[in-house]
Amino acid sequence: MARFDKITTFSKIAETRMVPVFYHGDIAIAQKVIKACYDGGVRVFEFTNRGDFAHEVFSNIIKFASVECPEMIIGIGSIVDSATASIYLQLGANFVVGPLFNPEIAKVCNRRSIPYIPGCGSVSEVGFAQEMGCDLCKIFPGDVYGVNFVKGLMAPMPWSKLMITGGVEPTKENLTSWIRAGAFCVGMGSKLFPKNKIMEKDWIYITEKCREALKYIVEAQ
């Protein structure tokens, strides 16, 4: 079962406004990345379902975080069907994220009172997701839709809470543009975790980059 309820999860996302997105099949590396992010101030983390036996890695990092990063809220990403969502809910996922919107996943998550953050690419999709109880919607891929899409959507639907994922960069210019456009939060993956830094096991780089990105977000508000 999830360690954190829906209200706690959303409150922490609203507080930090950044959700790192990461996958690695090596449990030890996944643990190091999570701890590096935690040390950098991150409190909400999305591990993605992108490789064979990803659920086994996820099960391990959930247990690891409960001891080493007790305030870290970990969810699962890249979920496209309700059966897979159910597996991860059993393993302790605190929220579920997808690249698309699947109403059947919303039903599974709502039954457990777990946040479902679906990927949406139009005003209509966001509206439909909201009708199905999705309080936070992911705009994906963010770099394709751009800042003007967020501004345009927020104008007639100012109650919307949007998480921008895809192409988000840990730079002052990029983060400021998304936050000031009206984004509720951002999801950040490869730009926050360069392959060479992971290969070099430069965990300090990740910690400092997280701290820097969170600083830019605070300054943009």
Residue 121 lies in a domain: no
Tell me the chain's radius of gyration from C-alpha atoms: 16
pTM over 0.85: yes
Domain count, the chain: 1
Gap between the Cα atoms of 22 and 61, Å rounded: 12
**Mean pLDDT computed over every residue of the chain:** 97
By C-alpha distance, which of 171, 91, 101 is closest to 136? 101
Other beta carbons less than 10 A from residue 55's beta carbon: 17
pLDDT at residue 28 in the model: 98
- Residues of the domain holding 71: 6-115+168-215
pLDDT at residue 210 in the model: 98
Q: Percentage of residues in the chain with pLDDT exceeding 70?
A: 100
Q: Any idea of the CA torsion for 41, 100, 121, 50, to the nearest 10 degrees? A: 50
φ/ψ region of 30 (left if φ > 0, alpha if ψ in -120 to 50, else beta) reads alpha
pLDDT at residue 199 in the model: 96
What is the domain-level CATH number for residue 98?
3.20.20.70
Per residue in 75-119, pLDDT tens? 999 999 999 999 999 999 999 999 999 999 999 999 999 999 999
DSSP H or E run through 22: strand 18-22
For β-strands 18-22 and 119-120, DSSP reports them as unpaired
pLDDT at residue 197 in the model: 97
> What six digits make up the tokens of 181?
């456009």
Residue 130 lies in a domain: no
Residue 180 lies in a domain: yes
Per residue in 116-162, pLDDT tens? 999 999 999 999 999 999 999 999 999 999 999 999 999 999 999 99
First vs last Cα of the chain: how many Å apart? 34
Please state, in angstroms and as integers, the Cα–Cα distance from residue 214 to each residue in 1, 188, 210, following that order.
29, 12, 6
Gap between the Cα atoms of 195 and 90, Å rounded: 31
Q: If pLDDT is split at 50, 70 and 90, which confidence band does 9 have? A: very high
Residue 155 lies in a domain: no
Residue 158 lies in a domain: no
Residue 149 lies in a domain: no
Residue 35 lies in a domain: yes
pLDDT at residue 129 in the model: 98
pLDDT at residue 98 in the model: 98
pLDDT at residue 18 in the model: 98
Residue 62 lies in a domain: yes
